[in-house]
Every structure is written in C-alpha cells, then in structure tokens.
Amino acid sequence: MELDNETFIIIPERIQRVTEIDWPHRAIWGIVYAFSCNGGECWLSVDQIAERIHRKRRQTSSMIQKLIDLNLIEIASFNGRKRSLRITEKSSFSNVQFSAHVQNPAQQTREISHISNAEIRTTDARKSAHLDNKKEEKEKKTKSVRKNNSGQRPNTIDECREYFLELGSNDYESFWNYWSSMGWKRRAGKIVCWKSTARNWVLKNKKTHEQSVDKHKPFDANSVIEWATK
C-alpha cells in the first residue's frame, strides 16, 4: 500500500495531556502544525478546518479561540480580511519530550502510575466536592421546607389540645380529625397558620351553638309585644 501522497497529523503527548481540550481541539492543533511547520503559517480558513474535522463553522471557530486562549496556537498575521495561525513555542515539538525514546520501561511505568494516581485523586476530590455541594443543597432545601411548614399544622394532637384549652374549647379532636383527613389543605392551598384556623374553628362553633340555643328558645309573648310597641 502506497502512502507517499497521504498527509499525517502527529499530536505530541504534551498536547494529548491537556485536559481542557478534547480530540477535535487536538486535531485543529495538528492541522495548524502540519500547515505551519518549518517556520510557515497556516492560512487555512475556518471553513476549511471545519471541513477537515467534520464540525460546523461556529464550533470550529470556538475551538480555535479556545486553543488561542490556552496559548497552544497564536495568530501569526492578519491582513484585514484573513488571519494566519501557527503553533506557539509552548506547544512546539522542540519542547516536547518523547518518553518512549528517552526513558526506559521502568521510568515510563513509574510516570504513568504517578499520573494515574494524580488523576484518580483529582477525580475523587471532584466527586467529594460534588457530593458535599449536593448534601449542602439538600440540607438547605430541607431547612427551607421545615421553615415553610412550621405554621401549617400542629406536630401532635397534644399540641392542638393545649392550644384549644388556651382558647377555652375542648373541640380539638374534631379539628384535628377534620384537617388531618384534608391533608391540612384548603381549596386555595395549604394552611398557612393552623392556629388562626383553630381560632376561626372555635369562633364558628361558638356562633353555631348560640344560634342553636336561640332557635330552641321558648316563645315569649311579652317580648314580642314589647318589640312591636316600640
């Protein structure tokens, strides 16, 4: 198989280890390097680079800008209409150490183990921080719910009985059973303050009782005559 006419893009290990970018960014870096090697400049347009990495123009432009922000590539020149790119000294091949040629297998193993352990520690730290944030958010939400629900209902029937005794009423069981069956909700929504509802309950029962007494009160003719002659 003949490969003389093929173009190869080589990505150094240093670029592959940059965690802020993924493979399309690395492919763009390799394209810029391939077209700007030997001191040249890459005059490929954004559309031409996008076509090579199979991405949309806007995505490609954003990835190029990210590489510029990370100082992996830079703008070599700009003629008012078109800009040229090139890799920076920070990411050039001259500064890249090829561990496969310099180090022996034992050194490579120690380096890889060190990197892996560092990545594991970083991942664990991120997971721990995420869990702590999630726990903190849950606690805040629980406190908020408790605060919002603090006056919606009595915690126990004994608390309800004590407050009814303060109001001079013994009708706490009916109150408790009725609103418990209703889920401590009315048509407009949840009860905001159960104590105010209890006061209205006692007042309503008192009025109902007074009306019942007046309804069954014996007929008094003298009272009717007195009212008619006023």
Domain end: 77, 93, 109, which one? 93
Q: How many residues in total does the chain contain?
A: 230
113 found inside a domain: no
210 found inside a domain: yes
121 found inside a domain: no
141 found inside a domain: no
The reported pLDDT for the residue numbered 198 is: 92
Nearest alpha carbon to residue 68 among 83, 55, 49, 87: 87
The reported pLDDT for the residue numbered 137 is: 81
- Report the domain count for the chain: 2
Q: What φ, ψ does residue 73 adopt, rounded to 5°?
A: -135, 165
67 found inside a domain: yes
The reported pLDDT for the residue numbered 7 is: 62
Does the pTM surpass 0.75? The reply is no
206 found inside a domain: yes
- 87: domain range? 13-93
Domain end: 68, 93, 118, which one? 93
∠ CA(117), CA(123), CA(124), 5° rounding?
A: 90
What pLDDT tens digit does each residue of the chain (230 aa) get?
A: 454 556 667 788 888 888 888 888 888 888 888 887 666 788 888 999 999 889 999 999 999 998 999 888 888 888 777 888 888 876 665 544 433 344 455 555 555 455 555 556 666 777 777 787 878 887 777 665 555 455 688 889 999 999 999 998 889 999 999 998 988 988 888 888 999 999 999 998 888 877 765 555 555 556 655 655 65
The reported pLDDT for the residue numbered 22 is: 87
36 found inside a domain: yes
The reported pLDDT for the residue numbered 1 is: 44
Separation of alpha carbons 186 and 203, rounded Å: 18
CATH code, domain carrying 79: 1.10.10.10
Domain end: 93, 117, 143, which one? 93
The reported pLDDT for the residue numbered 176 is: 93
135 found inside a domain: no
